[in-house]
Amino acid sequence: MVCQSCGRYLITAKEYMVGPNFGKPRTLPAIFNDTTMIQPTEEQILFIKRLVTTSLDQLIAKDSDIFNIGIEMPQQISPDARLLNRELHETTINHRLAFYLEQNIQETDLEFYNVDIEYNRYYSIQKRLNTVEGQLSVRPDILIHTRINDHVEQQHYLAVEAKKAEITPHDINKIEGFISDPNYLYLFGLTISYCINETNVLANLYYFNGTTIVKEEINRPK
């Protein structure tokens, strides 16, 4: 399906969910090249940097006890239980960051956008993402988007993967996938590591610069 407003090819929900290659890694058509990605303006880059750094600074100032404190668990707790504990803790931190992001887009050009955590829907179907690892079912940590409103110029604005521990290549692949997958074409991606560094929250901003997806450090001191 070709978008009438921008001329880009978009996969329909039917193409996305059915067919012999459903759920399998696949090579995207040649039309899915770098020119399908959206290059933000300098003004947009400055805005997102200000939005993210302001929101992180508020999180650090007001909620640092959430991610600086260590959680002691009995040794007999199973590895699966420890993983669930960490993921629940990360969700708590991400909820607070999403709260500040939502506050800080009020009375701006993004005030009609939604800020969601772990939003795993693509319209009425499960959110799937084309990456260099193949097609993945995904549940991004934080999104700034318009959910099902496709009557805006930039429906998908910011995708965030945020962890207590170190960001992995898998996390980065997902962020780059959100920027490059023609079903989404997010303007920006962001990775955050809250606790791996003692003195800084480590944050990297991703976006398409007209040639490739680039990364910029926007770390914030604790």
Determine, yes or no, domain membership for 12.
no
Worst-scoring range by mean pLDDT, 80-84, 99-103, 190-194? 80-84
Element (H, E) at 107: none
Residue 16's CB: how many other CB atoms inside 10 A? Answer: 18
Is 187 in contact with 38 (CB distance < 8 Å)? yes
Q: What is the mean pLDDT of residues 160-170?
A: 94
Q: Which pLDDT value is given to residue 32?
A: 44
Per-residue pLDDT tens for 199-216? 999 999 999 999 999 999
Q: Which pLDDT value is given to residue 31?
A: 37
Determine, yes or no, domain membership for 7.
no
Report whether pLDDT(74) > 60.
no
Q: Which pLDDT value is given to residue 86?
A: 53
Domain at 145, CATH number: 3.90.1570.20
Report whether pLDDT(166) > 70.
yes
Determine, yes or no, domain membership for 20.
no
Per-residue pLDDT tens for 13-28? 333 333 334 334 334 3
Q: Is the dihedral of CA 119, 52, 48, 111 positive or negative?
A: positive
- Provide the domain count of the chain: 1
Determine, yes or no, domain membership for 174.
yes
Determine, yes or no, domain membership for 2.
no
Cα–Cα distance, 32 to 131 (Å, whole number): 12
Q: Which pLDDT value is given to residue 30?
A: 40
Determine, yes or no, domain membership for 30.
no
Determine, yes or no, domain membership for 59.
yes
Report whether pLDDT(12) > 80.
no
| Domain carrying residue 192 | 44-69+77-221
Closest by CA position to 172, among listed 212, 213, 143 = 213
Report whether pLDDT(126) > 50.
yes
Q: Which pLDDT value is given to residue 36?
A: 82
Q: Which pLDDT value is given to residue 67?
A: 65
Question: DSSP class of residue 61?
Answer: H
> Percent of the chain, pLDDT > 70?
68
Cα–Cα distance, 176 to 170 (Å, whole number): 10
Cα–Cα distance, 206 to 202 (Å, whole number): 13
Determine, yes or no, domain membership for 107.
yes
Report whether pLDDT(77) > 60.
no
Helix H segments across the chain?
A: 13-17, 42-68, 79-104, 169-180
